[in-house]
Structure 1
């Protein structure tokens, strides 16, 4: 299983358009970037590719990293930076199965699957496959399990991707606070590679209107506001999941420049063979 990090940034990416902060300036000087979130998984055994989330930067990411077009996709939630690239399949793919959770979101009155189907009804080459969280689906020869996470006010999911023959495992937290349910943690546990949402360092919680949450014994916030983990929260979760390797993703340009490119913060284009 070959994993390519197509997009490792948050909703504005790094560099952010129109921003000349130290971190965006450093990214330009280094020639690195963090576009909107997306992960590409290749199954060498079946010669198939799975895409996790459709970044608005889909076209650019695939041209830049020269990975195969997807045979199937998973959508974790309906925020635009994870979904709005789906329109790029028009006149590019002949057909595409898109897997998304079938649970009704009390906020919208529809499931992620229903929202994707309705919003992209004009794409007759897309087939939306409603998928039950915590039940494993075989997709592109890989075992994929959606898991509920906490990203209020909308439902959101992480996922585990496992090769049934080699046992190699990729876990993705999705956009979430540190309060990942125990049943979801059990599915995500023991990955060879964990991609964990870590939007900012905990030191920046003082700038959020809601501050930080889920403090550890030393008072360090593991959640920034209510929707995303801090760097410290993501690393704490990684330790609890016993991840063999961790890369932090969904990163904002608010990281101080001196910290923004330190390990284990990811940048676009990284590849891992599991």
Structure 2
């Protein structure tokens, strides 16, 4: 299994347009980016490819990594624009693209993720929307995939477990540290965990809600109400006994001296499992 981190940033990405903070400047100087979130998973022997989330940066991501094949199927974790709005790029690129999303009804929207995606992209005849029940494995592009509920209020959101030929990838989804235990059980023992870590814990005082879910030393593992801190993402990797953890969904608010630390992913990273 070959995993390519196409997009490793938050909603504005790094560098952020119009921003001259030290982190954005350093990213430009280094020639690195963290665009909006997306993960490409491929079986190199068969050529099968699965895409987790459709970044608004879809076109640019695939053009700059043109060695990657377009996906044979896709999965949508939730309906925030930075994970979904790239699906419009399916126009004229695909004849029949299966797209999988959860069927549980979100009390906030009154629709499931599958229903929202189907309604928003009803003009795309090339998309075959397939609703799936969370916590139940299904086959997508030859991979065994499971959507697991996580904690990203006010909307329902899902982590993703992908398995094939003994290799296991877990993607946390956008979430706080309060991932339900049943979901943690499904994610446990991955070869790779791709985990949401939007900012370092010492920045939680900038959020109106502060930090939550402190560890034994009082370090917040949740930033505000929707995302993990860097420390929370790494702690989740330890909790799940992940062989390797890559921190993604990173914001440009990381101080420049921390923004390019080894554990924080940048676009284009490739990991073979």
- TM-score, L = length of structure 1: 0.98
Stretches (4+) displaced over 2 A:
none
Residue 133 in 1 paired to residue 134 in 2? Answer: yes
Cα displacement (A) at 1:141: 1.3
1:88 corresponds to which residue? Answer: 89
Superimposed CA distance per residue, residues 56-109 of structure 1 (whole angstroms, 9 cap, x where no aligned partner): 000000000111011100000000000000000101111100000000000000
Residue 205 in 1 paired to residue 196 in 2? Answer: no
Cα displacement (A) at 1:50: 0.4
1:117 corresponds to which residue? Answer: 118
Superimposed CA distance per residue, residues 229-261 of structure 1 (whole angstroms, 9 cap, x where no aligned partner): 001111111101000011000000000000000
Cα displacement (A) at 1:45: 3.6
CA distance in 2, matches of 1:152, 1:38: 20
1:252 corresponds to which residue? Answer: 251
CA distance in 2, matches of 1:45, 1:32: 29
2:56 corresponds to which residue? Answer: 56
CA distance in 1, matches of 2:12, 2:56: 11
Cα displacement (A) at 1:140: 1.3
CA distance in 2, matches of 1:194, 1:218: 24
CA distance in 2, matches of 1:97, 1:140: 9
2:268 corresponds to which residue? Answer: 269
SS state of the match for residue 259, structure 2? coil
CA distance in 1, matches of 2:259, 2:235: 19
CA distance in 2, matches of 1:233, 1:247: 12
CA distance in 2, matches of 1:46, 1:134: 27
8 Å Cα contact 1:46-1:141 kept in structure 2: no
CA distance in 2, matches of 1:168, 1:249: 20
> Structure 1: which 5+ residue stretches go unaligned?
none
2:23 corresponds to which residue? Answer: 23
8 Å Cα contact 1:43-1:140 kept in structure 2: no
CA distance in 2, matches of 1:231, 1:79: 21
Cα displacement (A) at 1:161: 0.3
CA distance in 1, matches of 2:124, 2:141: 21
SS state of the match for residue 203, structure 2? helix
1:102 corresponds to which residue? Answer: 103
Residue 223 in 1 paired to residue 214 in 2? Answer: no
SS state of the match for residue 134, structure 1? coil
8 Å Cα contact 1:169-1:192 kept in structure 2: yes
8 Å Cα contact 1:46-1:140 kept in structure 2: no
Cα displacement (A) at 1:184: 0.3
SS state of the match for residue 179, structure 2? coil
1:175 corresponds to which residue? Answer: 174
